Amino acid sequence: MADLPETRFTRSGEVEIAYQAWGAGPDMIVIQGFTSHLDVSWELPEFAAFLDRLGRFRRVIMFDKRGCGMSDRVRGLGAVEQRVDDISAVMRAAGSSRASILGWADGAFMAAMFAATYPERTSAVVLGGPWMKALTGGRTNLAADPGVVQKLSDVIQEGWRKGDLGAVVAPSYADDERFRSWWRRWEVYSASPETAAALLAWAASVDLSLVLPAIQAPTLVIERAGTYHDQESNRAAAALIPNGTYVRLPGADVLPYMADADAILDEIEGFLTGAHGSADSDRSLATVLFTDIVGSTRTADQLGDRRWRYLLDEHHARVRRLLDRFRGTEVDTAGDGFFVTFDGPARAIRCACAVRDAVRDLGIEIRAGLHTGEVERRGTAAAGLAVHVGARVAALAQASEVLVTSTVQMLVLGSGIGFADRGQHRLKGVPDQWQLYAVEHT
């Protein structure tokens, strides 16, 4: 490539995100692992060659994550849905309506969340070098490998900006002063030590066990055999994806552009150019919200039919105004309750709390329950286990309480939302015990 791609900027909420685009062909979003700096990426010949080849068979759109590189430095990285929103913002700015998504390391977590949430905008997925580990709790789950997180965290604490992490992610180049010099510059310009640590903490908070089965696009999970990753867990992750493929290549370097980069690029190119099938946009990851008015029968008897109808109409009008504000999709309204879906759990929680507060001066209280999981769309209706769980959680909520599952609580870490532990519960007609939390503040 003769010239460095132009760096452009777009807004995602209040944060400016830096991105570049180059190449030709169908669109591909690239989410680098860990920290990044767009311009410094091109300074290492191996990295530049890797990116240049991607651009030969795809129009590549790559961005600096919030808090990194040329994107705005921010306090806290935000909840998972804000980071997914950043991908959407970059796609809009680059004029991309549908793309394949390539995410490496923690970028694979972001790619998985986007693909599961927006199947209609995802043509294929490549999850490279993910840090996953099968952990056993109440249910088997796939989360960030605690051992990997601790290993990287220790190196960051001991000497960020000294280049020591380069020897961990590319051990074949541990004695290559040219690479180590570039990596030191990479650390200096890509992020602060606090942001680097926060990225690790974010990745450690995400449980992908409910996310992976909701990915409908053809997906390649690829890694090198000699890295510090748990290969059996990554193989299991690929098996959870309906159209998942697992590939393991020789090598010890986590960075895909080092060592035998052509082997990785061959697999990616072959997969993307030969991948067939399309996303089933009738299934996606969503947060479901159920609300109803507490003591509605008693209130209706006290008011009489006419006044109750007026009160219910005002309640519905206020709820719908808030659904517009928080991007909620009304699925059903049965009597005094609402069934709504959202593309982000933090938005769903804030909407539920806003509804609770907005109707108090009407002399009524609501209860609300939320869960995030795979939802199947059937025309204007929605179905699936996630819907049943959300409805059961709502039934357990007290007056003016917004009750959520541990899945929702985990996905909004970093959003500033606080919770009180409500213990484990059995939900009628739903297997296993479920840890529930009440929202304390947003």
pLDDT tens digits along 42-85? 999 999 999 999 999 999 999 999 999 999 988 777 778 888 99
Residue 75 pairs with which residues in a beta bridge? none
pLDDT category at 138 given cuts 50, 70, 90 is: very low
Q: Which of 26, 87, 85, 34 is nearest to 62 (CA)?
A: 87
- Cα(365)–Cα(294) distance, rounded to whole angstroms? 6
Q: Report the share of the chain in percent with pLDDT over 70.
A: 97
Q: What is the pLDDT of residues 157-216, one digit of tens each?
A: 888 988 889 999 999 999 999 999 999 999 999 999 888 888 888 777 777 888 899 999
42 with 17, same domain: the answer is yes
Instruction: Give the up-direction half-sphere exposure of residue 121: CA atoms within 13 A in the CB hemisphere.
Output: 21
Asked if the structure places residue 3 within a domain, the reply is: no
Token pair listed for 63: 């961005």
Residue 98 lies in a domain: yes
CATH number, position 210? 3.40.50.1820
Asked, for residue 2, whether it belongs to a domain, the answer is no
The contacts of residue 5 (CB under 8 Å, 6+ apart) are 20, 21, 22, 38
pLDDT, position 280: 54
Dump pLDDT digits (tens) for 99-129: 999 999 889 999 999 999 999 999 999 999 8
Mean pLDDT across the stretch 373-388?
Answer: 87
Does residue 85 share a domain with residue 189?
yes
Residues facing residue 68 across a β-bridge: none
| DSSP assignments along 335-358, one per residue | TTEEEEEES-HHHHHHHHHHHHHH
Ramachandran bin of 384, using left for φ above 0, alpha for ψ from -120 to 50, beta for the remaining angles: left
- Alpha-carbon distance of 317 to 99, in angstroms, equals 37
* Segment 367-388 mean pLDDT: 89
Cross-strand pairs, 382:
377
Q: Above 60 in pLDDT, residue 245?
A: yes
User: Domain for residue 369, yes or no?
Assistant: yes
Residue 380: pLDDT band (50, 70, 90) is: confident
Nearest Cα residue to 355 out of 272, 419, 289, 310 = 289
User: Mean pLDDT, to the nearest integer, of 415-438?
Assistant: 92
Query: Of 211, 243, 274, which residue constitutes the final position of a domain?
Result: 274
Mean pLDDT of all residues in the chain? 91
Tell whether the model's pLDDT for residue 418 goes beyond 90. yes
Domain of residue 334, residue span = 283-441
CATH of the domain at 289: 3.30.70.1230
Total tally of structural domains belonging to the chain: 2
pLDDT value of residue 76: 73
Q: Which of 274, 302, 327 represents a domain boundary (last residue)?
A: 274
Handedness of CA 323, 328, 334, 336 (dihedral sign): negative
277, amino acid identity: G
Q: For residue 350, what are the CA distances in angstroms to 20, 57, 245, 329, 440?
A: 33, 42, 37, 14, 11
In a domain, 101, yes or no: yes
Same domain? 236 vs 122: yes
Among residues 45, 41, 94, which one has the least CA distance to residue 64? 41
- Quick check: pTM over 0.75? yes
Sign of CA dihedral 130, 131, 134, 139: negative
**Range of 226-240, 343-357, 404-418 with top mean pLDDT:** 343-357
